[in-house]
Amino acid sequence: MQPLAGAGSERPATLADVAAATGLATSTVSRALSNPGRVNALTRERIELAARELNYIPNAQARALTSGRTRAIAVLVSDVTNPFYFGIIRGTQQQLKAAGYTQILVDTEESDELEDGMLHKLRRSFDGAILAASRLTDRRLTALAAEVPLVAINRQTRGVPSVFIDTPNGIEQAMGHLVSLGHTDIAYVSGPETSWPNEGRWRAMVKAAQRYDIEVRRLGPFAPRQYAGAAAADAILHAGVTACVAFNDLLAIGMLARFRERGVDVPGDVSIVGCDDIFGADFCNPPLTTLTAPIEQAGRTAVSMLLTHLDGARVGVRQTATLPTHLTVRDSTGPAPSSPPQKGRA
Amino acid sequence: MQPLAGAGSERPATLADVAAATGLATSTVSRALSNPGRVNALTRERIELAARELNYIPNAQARALTSGRTRAIAVLVSDVTNPFYFGIIRGTQQQLKAAGYTQILVDTEESDELEDGMLHKLRRSFDGAILAASRLTDRRLTALAAEVPLVAINRQTRGVPSVFIDTPNGIEQAMGHLVSLGHTDIAYVSGPETSWPNEGRWRAMVKAAQRYDIEVRRLGPFAPRQYAGAAAADAILHAGVTACVAFNDLLAIGMLARFRERGVDVPGDVSIVGCDDIFGADFCNPPLTTLTAPIEQAGRTAVSMLLTHLDGARVGVRQTATLPTHLTVRDSTGPAPSSPPQKGRA
DNA sequence: TTGAAAGCGCTAACAT
DNA sequence: ATGTTAGCGCTTTCAA
């Protein structure tokens, strides 16, 4: 617990108050507090004591004004209610707090204009930003990166440091899993076209299809939300495939509900694989086979990269960190219908 | 899209630049931009034009330094990964953005010390704070409320404006529902003892039990997390009750998993009611009967109250807003075991 | 209606 | 090692 508001002093103490109390100059006090070591050990102790007694708390605004650094980092997500970001936010929060930074959360609501505007207008209010799902064009992103230090998650653009969650690689594993189960006609349930990872996931499907010599098709695009699952499920049924990989778990969970509603059995009639392994993927019905992503880790890594960047060290800083995903098989995937247990499929 | 960084000017434009460009004094420019109406309409237009051309963006730090207002609001949650807060955060975000405020998200990790420290140390970095789940003592909360404008959610303490989600009332409805289903021995699965709403929920159960003249008991406390559901489920089984109301959905969902694991049928063997209706409550297995809370609304209301407070109007400001909840019946509740369909129970 | 001038609290040269 | 002195960009009296 903090001491109850500094004994009698209503106006918060300033550097000048501490200086007056110790008989030193404000500059000395400033140094002692933010640059210990450049000041006599003894006087520093006197200063620290006085500061504590006066319940002195540096004014972040004033400090930011002169130093140009706010010790705040913005984290931009495209939709705060998407559970995928909870993990990111948790990860960034942990790491930022450990480094003494404040987290400013911004919801860009899937809008590139809002994202751009926020970054531009608030760029002097934070020392850097983490873009958890940028919807910006490469051009704007590059321009912005010149204005404010940036780290993007799941978005690779030349000149912008990033953390990449390797879901495409996971998708190849998932395809192998589905093929081994006898599926030969698989669909990709596409997310928004402005989503960068969406393309990579589709390309991974095509690549895997070639390797296994099977059919894949692309359905959508669909909003990366639960409600869009209904339309996606209907599209799957209409397409007549036996399995699909959905852009993300949110969509997959929405599909599950629709299939249930329509009396379609999962995985009996159709198998579903999601992406991310968000909250809920383990307890939905049936539990979802998905590509588990190290989400919190991604947030932590992004912050580390950003802070390293801020602390000058531009040398030897990795520009892209790649994080692996793995296939987590649950109950939403099973043998292809009318395909008895396979024995020695070429 | 923003204009690409102000034509050639590397250093961001300041008020002085706009003043120079228009041949006016900085004070006039300042007024024109933040206090239009106190300046000649024509000169104001000239100023606004110049400001736009120079791509002038006010420096929030400098502004905060003189005005003492940061136009930032802190939102403190006890655990960012708890889906209950997603809704709160979404609600606050919407409302804050609409009012031109920035949201600072702080995760207090269920720690009163962290909560206290953050509020105290950062109190000059924001104009007010919303406590989504304060773990502070009444004493500290009151002390802090004197330092910085506060609005608490689900926490009533004299002198601190608050938004109250009336889950206790919902619990009485839930009890009615369970009683009508033939349950006569019901347990409350308690949340953390430091949680303020936890007590109110238990009291509501006792009250309802008296009304219906049945037994209730209290189990726990348990952490308000999914993992704690296993222990809670076991406790329920050991207690031998036929139904329970859990502190929150997270716990209830965790219990569902454990019951499944132990081969206990829900609602055949035991009925479960959750609280909040968080993300996942509708698609878990079985879908959870729960008390639907207007979570986003709570966030929005909290912000409105806070901003009203900030804008001076201390007169006639409601100190507590109460938001109703309602019972959403899904599949996790059913008739009490060995109790045939009731006919005309008093 | 507009301008001049004095800070807000702090940092960072530059001096001592 | 410490003190002096300018500001940072803006708001805000107080005068004109």
pLDDT digit of tens for each residue in chain A (346 aa)? Answer: 444 444 444 689 999 999 999 999 999 999 999 988 889 999 999 999 999 999 999 999 999 999 889 999 999 999 888 999 999 999 999 999 999 999 999 999 889 999 999 999 999 999 999 999 999 999 999 999 988 999 999 999 999 999 999 999 999 999 999 999 999 999 999 999 989 999 999 999 999 999 999 999 999 899 999 999 999 999 999 999 999 999 999 999 999 999 999 999 999 999 999 999 999 999 999 999 999 999 999 999 999 999 998 876 555 556 899 999 999 999 999 999 985 544 433 3
In total, the C-beta contacts within 8 angstroms joining chain A to chain B are 131
| Cβ-Cβ contacts under 8 Å, B123 against chain A | 57
Can you give the pTM of this predicted structure?
A: 0.90
* Distance of B29 CA from C13 C1′ (whole Å): 31
CB of A64 within 8 Å of any CB in chain B? yes
CB of A60 within 8 Å of any CB in chain B? yes
Name the residue facing B117 among A2, A106, A283 (closest C-beta).
A2
pLDDT for A208 equals 98
Q: Which of B55, B86, B123, B284 to mutate to test the interface with A (most CBs of A within 10 A)?
A: B86
Decide: residue A311, CB within 10 A, 0-12 exposed, 13-18 middle, 19+ buried.
exposed
| Residue spans of beta strands (DSSP E) within chain A | 72-77, 102-107, 128-131, 150-153, 162-166, 185-189, 215-219, 243-246, 271-276, 289-292, 320-324, 326-328
Name the residue facing B122 among A12, A90, A102 (closest C-beta).
A102
Q: Is B177 in contact with B332 (CB distance < 8 Å)?
A: no
For chain A, the 3-state helix, strand and coil shares in percent, each to the nearest 5, are: 45, 15, 40
User: CB–CB of A81 and B90 under 8 A?
Assistant: yes
CB atoms within 10 A of CB A271: 27
Which single residue has its CA nearest the C1' atom of nucleotide D13?
Answer: B27
- Mean pLDDT, rounded, for B277-290: 97
CB atoms within 10 A of CB B69: 13
- Mean pLDDT, rounded, for B118-141: 94
Residue with tokens 């009396």: A263
pLDDT for B2 equals 45
User: CB–CB of A125 and B61 under 8 A?
Assistant: yes
Residue B101 scores a pLDDT above 90: yes
Distance CA A43, CA A30 (A): 12
What homologous superfamily does CATH list for A167-293? Response regulator (3.40.50.2300)
Helix (H) or strand (E) holding B275: strand B271-276
* Residues above pLDDT 70, as percent of chain B: 93
Minimal CA–CA distance to B278: which of B307, B308, B298? B298
DSSP 8-state assignment for residue A6 = G
Which residue type does A72 have?
A: A
* Distance of A3 CA from C11 C1′ (whole Å): 28
Write out pLDDT tens, residues B232-275. 999 999 999 999 999 999 999 999 999 999 999 999 999 999 99
pLDDT for B95 equals 95
Q: Which of residues 215-244 of B touch A (CB under 8 A)?
A: none
Residue B6 scores a pLDDT above 80: no
What length is written for chain B?
346
pLDDT for B225 equals 95
Distance CA B265, CA A117 (A): 52
Which single residue has its CA nearest the C1' atom of nucleotide D5?
Answer: A27
Residue B92 scores a pLDDT above 60: yes
Distance CA A110, CA A136 (A): 10
Q: Is A277 in contact with A296 (CB distance < 8 Å)?
A: no
Q: Is B319 in contact with B145 (CB distance < 8 Å)?
A: no
Which residue type does B189 have?
A: V
* Distance of A2 CA from D9 C1′ (whole Å): 33
Buried b (16+ CB within 10 A) or exposed e, B265-292: ebbebbbbbbbbbbbbbbbbbbbbbbbb
pLDDT for B36 equals 86
Distance CA B88, CA A135 (A): 24
Residue A267, both tokens: 């995985």
Residue B154 scores a pLDDT above 50: yes
pLDDT for B313 equals 54
pLDDT for A197 equals 97
* Distance of A51 CA from C15 C1′ (whole Å): 27
Q: Which of residues 103-122 of A touch B (CB under 8 A)?
A: 103-107, 112-113, 116-117, 120-122
Distance from the A319 Cα atom to the nearest Cα atom in chain B, whole angstroms: 24
- Mean pLDDT, rounded, for B139-164: 94
* Distance of B31 CA from D12 C1′ (whole Å): 10
Residue B119, both tokens: 């509020």
Alpha-carbon A148 to chain mean position: 18
Of all nucleotides, the one whose C1′ comes closest to residue A56's CA is C9
User: Which residues, 6 or more positions from B43, have their beta carbon under 8 angstroms from its beta carbon?
Assistant: B22, B24, B28, B32
Residue B246, both tokens: 């859990």
Q: Which of B112, B115, B283, B300 to mutate to test the interface with A (most CBs of A within 10 A)?
A: B283
pLDDT for A56 equals 95
Task: Kindly give the interhelix angle for A41-53 and A26-34, rounded to the nearest 10 degrees.
Answer: 90
Helix (H) or strand (E) holding A154: none
- In the sheet with A102-107, reading across from the earlier edge strand, the strands are A320-324, A162-166, A150-153, A128-131, A72-77, A102-107, B102-107, B72-77, B128-131, B150-153, B162-166, B320-324
Q: Where are the domains of chain A?
A: 15-58, 72-165+295-325, 167-293
User: CB–CB of A122 and B60 under 8 A?
Assistant: yes
Of all nucleotides, the one whose C1′ comes closest to residue A35's CA is C11
Give the β-pairing of B326-328 and B289-292.
antiparallel
pLDDT for B343 equals 42
Quick check: do B72-165+295-325 and B167-293 share a fold?
Answer: yes
* Distance of B151 CA from D14 C1′ (whole Å): 38
Residue B340 scores a pLDDT above 60: no
- Mean pLDDT, rounded, for B291-319: 85
Write out pLDDT tens, residues B186-220. 999 999 998 999 999 999 999 999 999 999 999 98
User: CB–CB of B105 and A106 under 8 A?
Assistant: no
Distance from the B59 Cα atom to the nearest Cα atom in chain A, whole angstroms: 7
| Cβ-Cβ contacts under 8 Å, A88 against chain B | none
Tell me which long-range contacts B144-152 makes (C-beta under 8 A, separation of at least 24). Answer: B144/B116, B144/B119, B144/B120, B146/A5, B147/A5, B147/B119, B147/B120, B147/B123, B148/B119, B148/B123, B149/B306, B149/B309, B149/B310, B150/B306, B151/B302, B151/B303, B151/B305, B151/B306, B151/B309
pLDDT for A11 equals 82
Q: Name the residue of chain A whose CA is nearest to B87's CA.
A: A81
Distance CA B265, CA B271 (A): 9
- Correct CATH for B72-165+295-325 of 3.40.50.1580, 3.40.50.2300, 3.90.1150.10, 3.30.470.20: 3.40.50.2300
Distance CA A257, CA A241 (A): 18
Distance CA A56, CA A47 (A): 11
Mean pLDDT, rounded, of chain B? 92
Three-state SS letters, A267-293: CCCCEEEEEECCCCCCCECCCCEEEEC
Which single residue has its CA nearest the C1' atom of nucleotide D11?
Answer: B66
Q: Which of A9, A80, A277 to mutate to test the interface with B (most CBs of B within 10 A)?
A: A80
pLDDT for B314 equals 52
